[in-house]
């Protein structure tokens, strides 16, 4: 019995020695060196944007003209020949074309008004541009107070140094901070204007279109 136990001990020792002599598993010894399978792909990304435009404008424009100073203008002296019948003749007369100038003088009652930055556009267009145009709708060319009339004409849109009834402008995207802004010019004729106070009824229409 003792001999059998001794033999088993020898076999066990031999097995332990044989196992210790085998080389260590490289993957187990250096887990960071494990290499795995890999696969990758590249995706194409595209975006289709709609064509649209945003127009900013004032729907009501109130023009408050500054008040000129009232004046008294001395036209000099006037020697008059008076008959005993009371008729005066041979005197100098005040004629419109001979009157002295006042501080406020208009050229044929016409004033060109410049309204800065009263419209803005932004959006997307096929070529990045838009056309901004202006017109006076039918019946919108007069501002009235009873029989006192201010005639409005010659409407133009402006952008930088450019002006016209229609202008092509650059669209700079949709951000408000990059919106394209512009102004308006118009002529007001005071030939038939006789009253102070508010005159109403004038209209202009601004249109913005992508191109």
Domains by residue range for the chain, with CATH? 107-210 (2.60.40)
How confident is the model at residue 68, as a pLDDT?
A: 85
For 167-191, the pLDDT digits (tens) are: 999 999 999 999 999 999 999 999 9
Report the C-alpha dihedral over residues 48, 207, 185, 166, rounded to 10 degrees.
70
Helices (H), the chain: 2-21, 26-29
Q: What angle do CA 74, 76, 78 make, to 5 degrees?
A: 130
Range of lowest pLDDT (95-109, 151-165, 197-211)? 95-109
The pLDDT assigned to 95 comes to: 85
Q: Which residues contact 60 (CB under 8 A, 6 or more apart)?
A: none
Compute CA distances 43 → 18, 37, 38, 39, 201, whole Å.
55, 21, 17, 14, 60
Q: In the prediction, which pLDDT does 7 show? A: 45
């Amino acid at each position: 019995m003792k001999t059998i136990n001794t033999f088993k001990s020898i076999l066990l020792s031999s097995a332990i020695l044989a196992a210790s002599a085998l080389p260590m598993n490289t993957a187990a010894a250096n887990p960071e060196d494990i290499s795995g399978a890999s696969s990758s792909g590249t995706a194409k990304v595209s975006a289709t944007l709609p064509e649209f435009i945003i127009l900013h404008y004032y729907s009501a424009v109130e023009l408050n003209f500054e008040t000129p100073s009232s004046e008294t203008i001395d036209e000099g002296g006037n020697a008059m020949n008076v008959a005993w019948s009371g008729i005066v003749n041979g005197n100098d007369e005040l004629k419109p074309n001979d009157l002295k100038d006042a501080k406020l003088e208009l050229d044929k009652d016409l004033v060109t008004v410049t309204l800065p930055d009263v419209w803005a556009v932004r959006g997307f267009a096929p070529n990045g541009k838009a056309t901004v145009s202006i017109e006076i709708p039918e019946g919108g060319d007069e501002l009235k107070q009873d029989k006192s009339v201010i005639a409005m004409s010659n409407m133009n849109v402006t952008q930088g140094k450019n002006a016209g009834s229609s202008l092509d402008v650059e669209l700079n995207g949709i951000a408000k901070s990059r919106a394209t802004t512009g102004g308006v010019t118009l002529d007001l004729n005071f030939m038939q204007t006789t009253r102070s106070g508010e005159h109403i009824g004038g209209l202009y229409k601004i249109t913005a279109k992508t191109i």
